[in-house]
Structure 1
Amino acid sequence: MLFRLCLILLSFVTPLTVSAQDWATREVCTFDTAEIHEAAFVGRSEAELREAAAAIPNDLGRFWKVTSPEGMISHLWGSMHSTHPLILDLPEPVTSAISSARIVMPERSWFNLTRQEITQDFSFENYTRPDVGLFNIYHTNLDRNVISRMRTRMTALGYEPDSVNYFDYHTLIFTGLSDPCQDFYSAVLPVQDAHIEMRGVLAGAQIRGLETRNAVRHHLNNPLNEPTALAILETYGAAVQPQDSPIIAQTLTALYLAGEGGMFPLWEEDFLANTYGSEHASRILTLTNDYLVRDRNYRFIETLIPELQDGNVFAYAGFLHLPGDTGMIELLRSEGFTVERITLPGERP
């Protein structure tokens, strides 16, 4: 969807010469193997994070068997929003569950759209602010380095630098702060979430999103939620600062493939504290996770439960949605479902 969105937006903007983000070279962005680098840990060490992660409910595991009180079986998967071939190489038990599922349920789906919805998705007004010409992002309290990175990213994608003043917050988050390293794959390879949805479509499964496709856009663009939108911009903005090697991406990929979900939020805490200082990092991370993870988890479960009662569901959301006291696994258990980990090859037991 990100690549499609970029194409939609580019169709309305006169391209510029792409000269920004020169650091995001193929050598920095691409890698063939995933491995953990101690240098990727900027606060606590790998061992210290792993010890802390052990206290998080369901800190290990990407693939889960969900059994309803009536005995109907479904599956839950923690995805990674990446186009990297290592992430797209799904384990056989996962592909088998997708192929045999009655219904496949991603976080959001752009499948089965009406003609009116398609027209809306291609409308330029769907991505711009209602106050174009009046808004100046420098009049917000957004970190100036993040603004600079957005301007750089938008220029690299072919937009005017000042486009940060007329695209809405949702577009700035998911396009203006999109990972430039994904550019080497996104023209050909989908993110893992779209790859799974495609497999479901080809297998003849029903497709239904865990939330409506524009739920996040509507929430973030509501003026009452501007503090959350700005917090998410700073959270995402820290992740796209220039790098000189792929060690962070390699490390996070290795942790994902090992099923170490509890490590991700702890690593992010340290990374943001190193970028902004611990107090500011804690504030923006709380705002970000309260909406993007916790609040949406409750909506996901509300949508998911009726389908789980009929069984043979393959549901999936980003890996961060699974672990923790308000993660999807614990929320399902609180509703009377039995949720059991299916350990995959290469994962930590």
Structure 2
Amino acid sequence: MPRKFDRLLTLAAAFPLVLLLLLVSTLLFALPAHAQEVTSCQARNLLPEEKANNPRGYAELEAIAKAIPNGDHIFWKVEKPGHEPSWLLGTMHITDPRVTAMPPAARDAFADADSVVLESDEILDPKEAAIALFSKAEYSTFVDGTTLTALLSPEDLATVNAALKPKGLSVEGLNRMKPWLVASVLSLPSCEVSRKNKGALFLDMKLAVQARKAGKEVLGVETLAEQFDAMNKVPLERHIKSLVGAAKSVDKINDAIETMINLYLEGQIGMIMPALGMLGAEVEGSSEFEKLMILDRNRIMADRGAVLLDRGNVFMAVGALHLPGEGGVIELLRKKGFTVTPVS
């Protein structure tokens, strides 16, 4: 099968950090005016075509996804004896109106909840997010004299520069910046940047703002500094591979995210990672990334979230890729004595 994506599995795994990447890209880069005017991603869901052209492979994909626990819903009811029921929503951290609309049951639960729990409540204040990013220089920049031009081969340097050029940027101009930040800029569709620059809120931010306006308590299960710490623990070699992969795949990112959105809207979050793999994503070396950015954070979310969910009538919303699997937040909450059931 031709490889339609190069290392986009890493992008999928990193998707829970898109809320930070959107913020960082706005803080650090002034994109050209024509990029800000793009409102349509002009993207297509690749899975129908794949299903028609490769029915056997698609059947295998469905079987793999079906075997992943808790991978077929994005909204869940969380209960424990003696406590008022709470709710858990898997989110995508983007501004696409199809995503931010939320399922009707989730909208109702959110409206009635006493408090709202997000990955980080610091997103309510962009200044706090900027402080978190720049509180340690090593979060965003090389502090030991390392440069991107030295880390990239001549061929890869040309590839990354070609991808950055339409945005009015170059590797030389970003030479001391951490590769994951540069990759994030390449991985953001122009329509997403445009909507955000026009004031659209990604789902988690929308929930935070609406909750605050309604007088609800807004809480977080992580700090932004902890998220940046996790990102910086990923080996530098992996970050460089992801940067080059993002540059090679820059013209395919819209289709990748559109495919993910369609699976999300169908509740098929367990199929997202396997689907990108079937479509040609590079999976080499992703296990360490998954541990640092998904599994380790799942345990933090479940441990801290459980304490807050014990209050009852809590609406908790975290990245959808944190929910499914044996090491996902749902299974971890069950091990803590909660009954977690899907809501259609």
Is the shorter-chain TM-score for this pair beyond 0.5, marking a shared fold? Answer: yes
The equivalent residue for 1:316 is: 317
The equivalent residue for 2:147 is: 136
The equivalent residue for 1:265 is: 273
CA distance in 1, matches of 2:33, 2:162: 10
State the superposition RMSD in angstroms. Answer: 3.7
The equivalent residue for 2:105 is: 93
CA, structure 1 residues 333+212, in 2 after alignment: closer, same or farther (shift >3 Å)? Answer: same
CA distance in 1, matches of 2:341, 2:78: 7
Quick one: which of 201, 216, 223 aligns to 1:205?
A: 216
CA, structure 1 residues 299+119, in 2 after alignment: closer, same or farther (shift >3 Å)? Answer: closer
CA distance in 1, matches of 2:329, 2:53: 29
CA, structure 1 residues 329+124, in 2 after alignment: closer, same or farther (shift >3 Å)? Answer: closer
State the SS of the aligned residue for 2:288.
helix
What's the CA shift string for 1:200-230, capped at 9, x where partnerless? Answer: 22222111222101212123335x8435645
* Structure 1 contact 169–220 (Cα < 8 Å) conserved: no
Deviation at 1:141, TM superposition (A): 7.2
Deviation at 1:53, TM superposition (A): 1.0
Q: Which amino acid aligns with 2:181?
A: T
Structure 2 length-normalised TM: 0.78
Would you say 1:53 and 2:69 are equivalent positions? Answer: no
Would you say 1:162 and 2:163 are equivalent positions? Answer: no
Would you say 1:334 and 2:344 are equivalent positions? Answer: no
CA, structure 1 residues 332+131, in 2 after alignment: closer, same or farther (shift >3 Å)? Answer: same
State the SS of the aligned residue for 1:45.
helix
Kindly indicate which of the two structures has a greater share of residues assigned to helix. 2
Q: How many residues align?
A: 321
Deviates more, 1:156-165 or 1:122-131: 122-131
Deviation at 1:155, TM superposition (A): 4.3
Structure 1 length-normalised TM: 0.77
* Structure 1 contact 100–203 (Cα < 8 Å) conserved: no
CA, structure 1 residues 201+239, in 2 after alignment: closer, same or farther (shift >3 Å)? Answer: farther
Would you say 1:252 and 2:260 are equivalent positions? Answer: yes
CA distance in 2, matches of 1:275, 1:238: 14
The equivalent residue for 2:202 is: 191
Deviation at 1:171, TM superposition (A): 2.5
Deviates more, 1:55-64 or 1:252-261: 252-261
Deviation at 1:339, TM superposition (A): 0.2
Deviates more, 1:174-183 or 1:299-308: 174-183
Q: Which amino acid aligns with 1:73?
A: P
CA distance in 2, matches of 1:138, 1:42: 41
CA distance in 1, matches of 2:153, 2:326: 30
Deviation at 1:82, TM superposition (A): 1.9
Q: Which amino acid aligns with 1:261?
A: I
Quick one: which of 205, 225, 239 aligns to 1:214?
A: 225
CA distance in 2, matches of 1:218, 1:88: 28
CA distance in 1, matches of 2:69, 2:188: 30
CA, structure 1 residues 168+330, in 2 after alignment: closer, same or farther (shift >3 Å)? Answer: same
Deviation at 1:7, TM superposition (A): 3.4
* Structure 1 contact 220–229 (Cα < 8 Å) conserved: no
CA distance in 1, matches of 2:287, 2:110: 33
* Structure 1 contact 261–320 (Cα < 8 Å) conserved: yes
Deviation at 1:93, TM superposition (A): 1.6
What's the CA shift string for 1:99-124, capped at 9, x where partnerless? Answer: 22222122123256698x47735969
CA, structure 1 residues 120+302, in 2 after alignment: closer, same or farther (shift >3 Å)? Answer: same
Note the 1:270-289 alignment, pairs <5 A: 270-271=278-279, 274-276=280-282, 281-283=283-285, 285-289=286-290
Deviates more, 1:73-82 or 1:165-174: 165-174
State the SS of the aligned residue for 1:291.
helix
CA distance in 2, matches of 1:142, 1:330: 43
Deviation at 1:161, TM superposition (A): 3.0
CA distance in 1, matches of 2:320, 2:194: 23
Would you say 1:296 and 2:297 are equivalent positions? Answer: yes
CA, structure 1 residues 141+296, in 2 after alignment: closer, same or farther (shift >3 Å)? Answer: farther
What's the CA shift string for 1:5-32, capped at 9, x where partnerless? Answer: 3332237xxx8x689x9xx9766x236x
CA distance in 1, matches of 2:101, 2:179: 32
Deviation at 1:307, TM superposition (A): 0.7
Q: What are structure 1's unaligned runs of at least 5 residues?
A: 344-349
Q: Which amino acid aligns with 2:259?
A: T
Quick one: which of 184, 190, 193 aligns to 1:180?
A: 190
* Structure 1 contact 74–313 (Cα < 8 Å) conserved: yes
* Structure 1 contact 53–59 (Cα < 8 Å) conserved: yes
State the SS of the aligned residue for 2:250.
coil
